[in-house]
Amino acid sequence: MPAVLNPSEFRDLVSGRKKGAVAACLRAGLRAAGFPYSWAMRLRNRRFDRGQAEIRQVGVPVICVGNLTLGGTGKTPMIEWLARHFRVQGVRVSIVSRGYGAQQGERNDEALELELALPDVPHLQNPNRVEAAEAAIEELDTQLILLDDGFQHRRLARDLDIVLLDATEPFGYEHVFPRGTLREPLAGLARAQVVVLSRADMLDATARKEIQDRVAQLAPNSVWCEVEHKPATLLDANGKEQPLANLPASSQAKRIAAFCGIGNPAGFRHTLETLGCDVIAWREFPDHHSYTREDVTALVDWASDADMVYCTRKDLVKLGVTHLGGVSLLAVSVQLSFLAGQETLEAALGRV
């Protein structure tokens, strides 16, 4: 993503919402820049499809949760839902991920967030995900691996591929990065056994059906699900939760400043809208942003006129503060809720 653009500005450009000759020239340049990447991804996938690149089996079921596009499709809530689904059945689950954005010897933001939500589920981060999976099995007696953000990681064999499409940009504006937000050409969706439309509540039934019909063409053997991310609680940095259902209406009417450093800020903005928040100030940071002392100082000044500051849970675990100046800082924690396909997905999970 061009460094001068925040996530929303980048999406305005590649979606075509930003008009004018300069924007058109920028899109043409980004499209040309994307050809080598697209070609490399096609070649890489072809090698795995033809058995020319090794795919490693690890001896226990592996369920992958991934996406076709960059950033926030809602993988973390899906990982949480899956982990709880199997833990209720007494299955020992471990999460394996690459650890993108982590500092040397530290865990990244997704790991910190999942540790907060799932303290009894180990999370191993290693760029060598085969090695991490084998360690989980040998050292932790893991019976099932959840591979987080691994759809493009072909080296670890999996028993089920779950791909999330975000309702705000399900097909990455039809182009691979940097011209669009696709991580690989759309043809790759054919590898998925389950396709989940996340934040489906943002679309009407007609729009959802159009996406479902296209998915049926791209991945004809896949199961279709629709989910929403429902705001569940407000959470502070000490782990104290306040159920949204218990909030007085006056709390929701307060002046809110909100910020996030996630892949798709539109999703968080939608969450705040469902709460009826009066957002008087809005700020975006890059995905996986590491907050500095200077950032905190700037946020204190920026939020000084607000009654409360909201962020995502992913941001809160990195900041670790309960207040910005004299203003309370709270994360809006969301939970996955199925609108369609839950029973079909559970049946697929039962066959793993």
Report CA torsion sign: 284, 285, 291, 294.
negative
In sequence order, the β-bridge partners of residue 257 are: 281, 309
Tell me the residue ranges of DSSP E strands in the chain.
Answer: 62-67, 93-97, 123-125, 144-148, 160-166, 194-198, 223-235, 241-243, 255-260, 278-284, 308-312, 323-324, 327-340
Match domain 62-229+337-350 to its CATH number in 3.40.50.300, 3.20.20.140, 3.90.1200.10, 3.40.50.700: 3.40.50.300
Structure tokens at 163: 């791909």
- Are both 62-229+337-350 and 230-334 of the same fold? yes
Q: Is the pLDDT of residue 250 over 50?
A: no
Domain covering 230-334, topology: Rossmann fold (3.40.50)
Contacts for 25-34: CB closer than 8 Å, 24+ residues apart: 27/179, 30/175, 30/178, 30/179, 31/175, 31/179, 33/178, 33/179, 34/175, 34/176, 34/177, 34/178, 34/179, 34/180
Q: Is the pLDDT of residue 246 over 90?
A: no
The predicted structure's pLDDT at residue 252: 52
- Residue 175 backbone class (left: φ over 0; alpha: ψ -120 to 50; beta: rest): beta
> Rounded to an integer, what distance in angstroms lies between the CA atom of residue 217 and that of residue 190?
9
In sequence order, the β-bridge partners of residue 235 are: 241, 331
- 222-250 core/surface letters (b: 16 or more CB in 10 A; e: else): bbbbbbbbebbbbbbeeeeeeebeeeeee
- Listed by start position, the domains of the chain span 62-229+337-350, 230-334
138-167 pLDDT tens trace: 999 999 999 999 999 999 999 999 999 999
- For residue 274, name the pLDDT band (cuts at 50, 70, 90): confident
The predicted structure's pLDDT at residue 248: 47
Q: Is the pLDDT of residue 277 over 50?
A: yes
Name which residue leads in pLDDT, 128 or 7: 128
- For residue 242, name the pLDDT band (cuts at 50, 70, 90): confident
Q: Is the pLDDT of residue 106 over 60?
A: yes
- Residue 260 backbone class (left: φ over 0; alpha: ψ -120 to 50; beta: rest): beta
Averaged pLDDT, 312-318:
92
The predicted structure's pLDDT at residue 102: 55
Single pTM value for the model: 0.88
The predicted structure's pLDDT at residue 101: 57
Q: Is the pLDDT of residue 251 over 60?
A: no
- For residue 114, name the pLDDT band (cuts at 50, 70, 90): confident
